[in-house]
Amino acid sequence: MAVFDSQAFLKTLTTEPGVYRMYDEDHQVIYVGKAKNLKKRVSSYFRSNIPDAKTRVLVSNIRHIEVTLTNTETEALLLENNLIKKYQPRYNILLRDDKSYPYILLTDHRHPRLAFHRGSRKKKGEYFGPFPSSAAVSESLRLMQKIFPVRQCEDAYYRARSRPCLQYQLKRCSAPCVAKVSDEDYTEQVDMVRQFLSGKSHQVIATLVGKMEQASMALNFEAAAKFRDQIALLRQMQEQQSVAGNFAEMDVIGFAQLNGLCAIHMLMIREHKVLGSKTFFPKIPKDSGREEILTSFVGQYYVSTGSHGRIAKDIVLPFDIAELDDLAAALTQVAERKVQLRVNVRSERAQYLELANKNALNSIMVKQNAQDSIDKRYAKLKAALGVSDINRMECFDISHTMGENTVASCVVFDGQGPNNREYRRYNVTGITPGDDYAAMAFALNKRYGKVTDPDKVPDIIFIDGGKGQLSRAESFFESWTLEKLPMLIGVAKGTSRKPGLETLLIDGGRKTINLESDSPALHLIQHIRDESHRFAIAGHRSKRQKQRTQSVLEEIEGVGLKRRQALLKYLGGMQGVKAANIQQLKQVPGISPQLAEKIFNHLHDKA
């Protein structure tokens, strides 16, 4: 492609706001940016004296530029964020962890359910949050289960109960499913949950204190003790989440940059409580300045689809940025309420900022120490295998129960260690139950059968198993057509199956390598093997649980909740339904002759 004629292109540019995309000679997007004035902003890249080395390298690779006009700068910010996520340009600051943040959902049912929620808010109910991580939600749900006996089970499980479950025995649920609690009392507990999650924990405690005193006056000491325990747990939870000060809603962003690494630590405060914190490690091009990094982070973190619910009223930044006012205006428009970006803060805000900055720096130190350990392990593994470089490794494992619900896992390690975004699971079908060799062949074909990109071909593939598994993997790669061929290594457990006694099998098992139990290379192999094992088991358990909790009747079209209940009631449970003939099925209210035949055929086909 010809050299980019910047002067001719700049003559065509408008002074309106918009977004520009820069392409290289392979027509790959290498940078996405936004501007109030496109002509002025894009022209700045082609000055004769550009001091920034990163910008000089970027400009040298430009072969084509495309622009999209927008009505406002806020629209430009939104479009820029979406395009960065879509193209992942190598010269942009990239916030890789862009999952929507989790909430606690209180559903809109006769007996509301407390649940973890992530994603769009399509379900009816009240949403509380956002929380910085799924772990923060899980911990809050765990503590609230001890305090408020409100159900947290799935709706299908709740509807299918005929007697209380274990949570009732542990006094963590009042069992509304089988009427062990009146609707009035259950609603009262739900109201206290709602108040607590809305930051009114003092009111909840006051209510419980009043109930405890009433129960004590009535000599109902068992009920009084129950309220006393609720109050104690609530006070304990208050202490864990308390914040000294009067700030009800605030995000505090800490920043640290050291030795080529950058960490951004987010401290989230909602309803006068610290919901938790999270550290981000954005992917940054070389020579990126701290203002550019922080500006990109704020834009990508807050300005995204459905993000308005997590934008705090006050956002404390660690230092001033050029686009402070423009970003604040954009966030205000997205959030549909006033949003303030604060710098040079004092008093309590300054204390929080100091804490966030300290955590960001500590996160970099921890990550560097972990990376040093990973680098050492990779170096030892390369020496043990006699290879010059290892950029990507993958490991497979198979999990099933007596041949049922077979799941294959593939985990990926790169130079940074585990790359969770590349992990994959495969539901194995079309094989003889329990045939692990066929399951491995199925997984390999799923993973590599259509691969054409050499970058997706790993340097090493570990197979968790012995010679048989390794031989099946080698058979698959006999017809491999790509130039890059991965090294296949079987990881066979020792006779006692204890960690540290593994044997590495190469060349179909004709060559073996035994590493010392304290070898960093072996520790790396154990790590990737254990990850594949964990990932496969988690997928298998999820599949098995889903199968167990789903009634066979749910699979039949035309058999809804009421008809399922009628079948189970009139025929004496699932065993009675399976034993019934077509004539007996027709006698159930709501079951037509055609549907009875359909149910009978479906159940007997399953058998």
pLDDT, mean of residues 131-152: 82
State yes or no: pLDDT of 245 exceeds 60: no
Here the contacts of 188-197 (C-beta below 8 Å, separation 24 or greater) are 189/148, 189/149, 189/150, 190/106, 190/112, 190/148, 190/150, 192/148, 193/106, 193/114, 193/144, 193/148, 193/150, 194/106, 194/126, 196/144, 196/147, 196/148, 196/234, 197/104, 197/106, 197/128, 197/271
Amino acid letter for position 392: R
Domain boundary among 87, 118, 143: 87
Rounded average pLDDT over 126-142: 79
Same domain, 505 and 419: yes
Q: What is the pTM of this model?
A: 0.60
Confidence of residue 607 (pLDDT cuts 50, 70, 90): very low
Domains of the chain: total: 4
How far is Cα 240 from Cα 273, in angstroms, rounded to an integer? 9
Q: Model confidence at 393, in pLDDT bands (50, 70, 90)? A: very high
Residues 264 and 353 in one domain: yes
62-87 per-position pLDDT tens digit: 999 999 888 877 788 878 888 888 88
* Mean pLDDT confidence for 594-607: 79
Q: What's the gap between Cα 149 and its chain centre?
A: 28
Query: 344 lies in a domain?
Result: yes
Rounded average pLDDT over 86-101: 76
What is the mean predicted confidence (pLDDT) over 183-187? 90
Residues 581 and 513 in one domain: no
Domain identity same for 408 and 351: no
Judge if 452 and 517 occupy the same domain.
yes
508: left (phi over 0), alpha (psi -120 to 50) or beta: left
Residue 549 has pLDDT above 60, yes or no: no
Task: State the burial class of residue 36 (Cβ atoms within 10 Å of its Cβ: 0-12, 13-18, 19+).
Answer: middle
* Nearest alpha-carbon partner for 330 in 16, 38, 32, 73: 73
pLDDT reported for residue 566: 84
Q: Given pLDDT bands bounded at 50, 70 and 90, which one contains residue 237?
A: low
Q: What is the dihedral of CA 412, 413, 419, 422, to 10 degrees?
A: -20
For residue 69, give the CATH number of its domain: 3.40.1440.10
- Residue 253's pLDDT is 94
Query: At residue 384, does pLDDT exceed 70?
Result: yes
* Contact of 233 with 143, CB cutoff 8 Å: yes
Residues 437 and 535 in one domain: yes
Domain of 590, CATH number, reads: 1.10.150.20
The CA–CA distances, whole Å, from 124 to 109, 112, 114, 121, 187 equal 9, 10, 12, 8, 17
Read off the CATH number of the domain in which 316 is found. 3.30.420.10
Q: Are residues 482 and 529 in the same domain?
A: yes
- End-of-domain residue from the set 87, 121, 141: 87
**Are both 481 and 592 inside the same structural domain?**
no
Residues 541 and 400: their CA atoms lie apart, in Å, by 9
The dihedral of CA 116, 119, 124, 127: what is its sign?
positive
Give whole-number Cα distances, 576 to 214, 567, 573, in Å. Answer: 50, 9, 5
Give the domain extent around 51: 6-87
Q: What is the mean pLDDT of residues 500-526?
A: 83
Residues 491 and 440 in one domain: yes
Average pLDDT over residues 45-66: 86
Residues 440 and 408 in one domain: yes
Give the model's pLDDT for residue 401.
Answer: 81
Residue 399 lies in a domain: yes
User: Is residue 282 domain-shared with residue 337, that is, in the same domain?
Assistant: yes
Given the DSSP bridges, would you call strands 417-418 and 404-414 parallel, antiparallel or unpaired?
A: antiparallel
pLDDT of residue 409: 92
